[in-house]
Structures are given as C-alpha cells and as structure tokens.
Structure 1
Amino acid sequence: MAERDLAEHRPVPSLDRRRFLIGGLLAAGAATAYARKPSQAINYLGDRKLEDLVPKKIGSWEYLTSSGLVVPTEDALSAALYSQLVTRVYTNGTDAPMMLLVAQGGGQSGVLQIHRPEFCYPAGGFELSAIVPVPLPVAGSAIDVNRLTATLPGRAEQIVYWTRVGNHMPVTWAEQRMAVAMDNLKGLIPDAVLTRISTIDTDGDAAFARLADFAEQLLVRMGEARKILIA
C-alpha cells in the first residue's frame, strides 16, 4: 500500500518535459529581449543648443520675446520630457505675431513622450477643433503636419505642429509610439523633437498660409541644422 501511494506521487515525466520546454522558451525570450535592448542613440542635436540654432530673424520676422506662449505646466512630468525647450514670439510689424515652440527630448530611456497641443492647450482652458493632418509645403517638398484651432473667449489661435522621432515623421500619437518601438527593435534609441507654430487669427486659411511661409523660412534659415526638426 505504501509503495502504491509513493508511485502515485512520483512526478509524471511528460509534465517534467513540458516544464523544461516552457522554461527554455522563457529563457530564450529573455535572451532575445536583452539582445535587442536599445543601445545606439539617434540624437541630431548632439551637444548643440536649440537656443543657438533657432534663428532670431526668420525672413521678415524678428524675435520679440520668449513669453506669452501656451506651454506645458512646470511639473515633474514636463521636466522629464524635455532635454531642451525654446519658446519664441516673432513680429514683422504688420501681421499678428508668430509663436514658435521647439521641444527636444533625448529619449535616453527609449520611451519618448511629447506634450502635444491636444494635451497642453486644454489644460490651459482652451477648446480645440478637430485635428486635421495636412501637407505643409517647405523647401520644394512637403511635410505632414497637424492643423487645429484652439479657442478661448475672444481668442482664436491657429496652430500647426509636427514631430520628428529619429528618422520618422509620425503624425498621430499612435504613429509616434510605433516609431519609437520600431527603432527600439533595431537597437536604436531615437531622440524626438516637437515643433509648434501658431498665430492668433479668426481666419484659419489666411493664418495657415502665413504659418506655412514662416515654417519654410525657418527651415531655410536653419540650413543643415533643419535636420533637427525634420527627417
């Protein structure tokens, strides 16, 4: 009787083999994940400063001030997101001022987050229109940007913005995360840059024409350094 009880409690060989196979698969998965751990950084800014690279004169527009823009709140999250942040207001003496924000994140963890306007403007009490992806003609070509309007009582701010993540130009938040994941699988840690240009005007189409012209002048004026802003 005792021998029968002992036999019934002995491990079943098939179960042992199954555990061994599962353990091997887990170990292989862990090894693969480690081998694919991002290690090579993509950082087009390098040791340079955005403050020095973003020109203070852009076509007929000249630097006026660095205040007055809608920016992320000064909390621990926004402090962690940006390696560098430049805010500028430009004037040409005739039209409504142009507001420029450029934010760069080094992406040292490989997980990049950028405060897009659809997050920081509502935090300031603005209501947003639908966000429409549109081509923005620049330097004889075009880049895909997002266009929207942010409103407060008595204020309509027309906005265009785009992001560069490594060598990608994602338009949506989902595309942005996918771009990071794709680079991570290649062992790359991409940096990310958000460029936002806005102006106050109730006429969205007229404002967009000026925003497009300002963006093109900005990229032309930056020369080779424009690779920091566009892929």
Structure 2
Amino acid sequence: MNRRAIIIALLACVTAFGAQAITPRIALSDQLPALDLAALVPEQAGEWRVDPNVPAAVVNPQQDFAIQAIYNQTLSRTYVNARGDRIMLSIAYGSDQRDGVQVHMPEVCYPAQGFLLKSVRIDSLALAGGEIPVKRVETMHGNARPEPVTYWMTVGEDVVVNGKQKKLAELRYSIRGVYPDGLLFRVSTISRDSAAAYRMQDDFLRTIVAAIDPEHRPRFAGRGSIE
C-alpha cells in the first residue's frame, strides 16, 4: 500500500472514530419525568373546556403506522368557551428528535390534504416567562374551510419553528452526549378573520400552557413558559 493510500485510510479511521465518539447515546426523556399528554394537558382551563360533542378535526395525512414510527403519543381535542368559540388542539410527542426522525409541519401536511397555503410567517407569543417564537399558517380548503393555524416545535426545552433552529438545538444536546425528545404543539380555528382568530388562539395558548404543571411546562412550550 502506498503512502497516499495509508494516509487516506488513517483519516477515514479517525473520522469514523470521531463520529462514533460524539454520537449521543443518552435519551433526554430517560433523565426527565415521563410525559402523559392526556393527563398533563387539562380538559378545562380558564374559560376553555373540552367539547365532548365535537371531534378534533385536525388535518393529519399520515397513516397510523407512520405516525407511530415518529411519535410516541398524540393528543387531539376541540375546546370551546361560553361564547361558542372553538379551537382545535393537536400535540404530537416523540422521545427521539434527532435528524432521522422528522416531524410533519402543518405547511406540509395541510397542502397534502388539499388545502391551499395562503401564507406562512414567523411571529411571537407572550407567555409567563417571556416570548417564544411561533409560526402562523393561513390555509383554505375550497370556500368552506378557512383555517388559520398557530404552531411551534420543541427540542428538549428549546422552542423552534424551522429546520435550522431544530438542527442547532439538537447540536447543543448532542455535545452533551444526549439526544432530545420533543413535540409539535398546534392549534387552529375555522375562521375567515385570521387576525381575530390568531388573537383568540393566543389567549387560549396562554391559558392552556399556564395550566400545565410547571415541572413539565418547558417541554411543552420552552423555558419562556415559566415565570
């Protein structure tokens, strides 16, 4: 074997060893209290309560087997207040949020179900401990179902709203030898007035997040959800 081949082989070995050394092997979910979405997200908070007579008509184009491969738990509910306003809530939790496991963002899922994507923008939501980034997605299905959506994702206790932020959050955990859990937290409303819908969604989100046990709250909405 010539000198060039030997050097290339040595570099390949060093690269492989380095990659193996920094591959996270510890699950963050094993170091933190277990999450039970149905138990931790209250059925009543402030003026909002679960409407048992209305199913949560949340768009989800994935088949059951695909959902189970990505998420450990999902929760879908419709909440209603005394005025009859309704908000659909969907939360999907996965214990492994590394690159190989990709969440399905609403701006991908909704068009897959025949919705028109009217706009997508990043915004912020004020919570008890500060602001967190959120994404606003305006969708329309035919002329009968305009559906403004607000969502965010968590990687461990970091809130992210795009792929770049997700990768950076994963890297911060991997440096510690940990691979994070995470979830997608989404609400939507059937409404032609997007501005009013987003104001109502924000009110609901502040109420429901504040009602979650503080011990678990950062994993639902990041550290900005804690006073």
TM-score range relative to shorter protein: 0.7 to 0.9
For the 8 Å contact 1:45–1:228, the answer to whether it is kept is no
TM-score (norm: length of structure 2) = 0.87
TM-score computed with the length of structure 1 as normaliser? 0.86
Please give the residue correspondences for 1:1-231 in structure 2 after superposition, counting only pairs within 5 Å: 16-43=2-29, 46-65=33-52, 66-107=55-96, 111-152=100-141, 153-224=143-214, 225-231=216-222
| CA positional deviation for 1:185 | 4.4
Unmatched tracts of structure 1, length 5 or more:
1-14
Larger deviation: 68-77 or 134-143?
68-77
Q: Given the superposition, is the C-alpha separation of residues 132 and 55 from structure 1 closer, same or farther in structure 2, using an over 3 Å criterion?
A: same
Unmatched segments (≥5 aa) in structure 2:
223-227
Structure 1 residue 75 displacement after superposition:
4.3
Deviates more, 1:54-63 or 1:161-170: 161-170
Local SS of the residue matching 1:131:
strand
Aligned-partner residue type, residue 37 of structure 2: L
Provide the secondary structure at the position in 1 that maps to 2:2.
helix
1:11 aligned residue = none
Tell which deviates more after alignment, 36-45 or 146-155. Answer: 36-45
Percentage identity across paired residues of the two chains: 32
Runs of 4+ deviating beyond 6 Å: none
2:83 is aligned with what amino acid?
T
Q: Is the 8 A contact 2:99 2:167 kept in 1?
A: no
SS in structure 2 at match of 1:20: helix
How many residue pairs end up in the alignment? 217
| Cα RMSD after superposing both structures | 2.0
The answer to which of 107-116 and 145-154 deviates more is 107-116
